[in-house]
Amino acid sequence: MVACPYCGGEVERQPGEVVLTCPYCGTAFTVGGGEVGEHLMGRVNYAPHRIFELFKIWALRFPETPNDFGSEARLTGCDLTFYPYWVYEVAGSFRAAGGLEVAAAEVAVPACSRVRGTPLERLKLSLAGKVYYSHRYVVQVGGKLAAADVGPEEADRAAVSLAEAVVARRLSRRLGRSVAVRAEGLEKLVRRLVHVPVYSCAYEYGGRPYRFLADASDSRVLYAEIPVEARFRAAALAGAGSSFALAAASFALGLAYGLPAFALVTPLALAGVGAYCLYKASAREVVVKEFFAEG
């Protein structure tokens, strides 16, 4: 237990947690005493059933998705978690090979190490539409908080290198070649803690379980598992068969006419197509990962 510096309330601490949010007054504070900055949150603008309806419409854009997906898929569970992110405004001078570049960037660093390696790691975040944090609101919408175990000092360093990467990408695009950039004399490094609401949903189709993640503020799908229609898999299998047959035929043709390059390249390309079809035919589910990288 740690005492809240604002209201004195006893706050429970998870192992490894370095930024705590007081459940009584909503104040976010660091265990080490470091400054948190402004504390904001995203609002929940979609109820679970609405998110599921939008997800099904989104999933039907893929040709592999079964035609009866909209009517047959059933929502079986939905959790709402508010994930903490450090969102930065970074501005100042950046040293590049050609000289100094004055630039500004908005970058986000996950405050929860659990999201590393998941689609949530590179979530595209903006401060637009964010409101002041209210713990009462989180409780009201049935959300829980993911533990914040990345402190402000560690996040500051990550934010500077993310900003360098953003400026480097921008410069590289402008100059048409790859440019390395180093922050030199930053005038602005404004840090905010933002809790972002994310739905983790489970659904069932044809007796099998699937999962998806969606942003509860704007309904964007962040991760999805979607079943593949049986007919599509059969078509892919047929495609694989004919590609392999064509590969064999063109190999024979190339040999017969004394065209060694043709005898090698064409069958290889066709075999590649065949292998891809085979791979498509073997996939029981399509996993779509939508990354919202910055830039």
Shortest distance (Å) from residue 210 CB to Zn ion: 40
Q: Pick the closest to residue 270 from 259, 282, 278 (CA basis).
A: 278
Nearer CB in complex with Zn ion: 22/196: 22
**Which residues are CB-neighbours of 128 under 8 A, at least 6 positions away?**
none
Shortest distance (Å) from residue 26 CB to Zn ion: 7
Shortest distance (Å) from residue 29 CB to Zn ion: 8
Give yes or no for residue 3 binding Zn ion (CB under 5 A).
no
Give yes or no for residue 292 binding Zn ion (CB under 5 A).
no
Shortest distance (Å) from residue 5 CB to Zn ion: 8
Task: Quickly count: other Cβ atoms within 10 Å of residue 134's Cβ.
Answer: 14
* Residue 226 identity: I
Nearer CB in complex with Zn ion: 6/291: 6
Nearer CB in complex with Zn ion: 7/31: 7
Q: How many residues belong to the site for Zn ion (CB under 5 A)?
A: 8
Angle 273-274-280 from CA coordinates, rounded to 5°: 90
Nearer CB in complex with Zn ion: 22/167: 22
Give yes or no for residue 4 binding Zn ion (CB under 5 A).
yes
Instruction: Calculate helix-pair angle for 260-282, 230-256, nearest 10 degrees.
Output: 170
Buried b (16+ CB within 10 A) or exposed e, 148-185: bbbbbeebbebbbebbbebbbbbbeeeeeeebebebee
C-alpha to C-alpha distance for 51 and 56, rounded to whole angstroms: 9
Nearer CB in complex with Zn ion: 24/276: 24
Shortest distance (Å) from residue 37 CB to Zn ion: 17
Task: Quickly count: other Cβ atoms within 10 Å of residue 203's Cβ.
Answer: 22
Shortest distance (Å) from residue 87 CB to Zn ion: 22
Within 5-44, which residues bind Zn ion (CB under 5 A)?
6-7, 9, 22, 24-25, 27
* Interface contacts to Zn ion, rule CB under 5 A: 4, 6-7, 9, 22, 24-25, 27
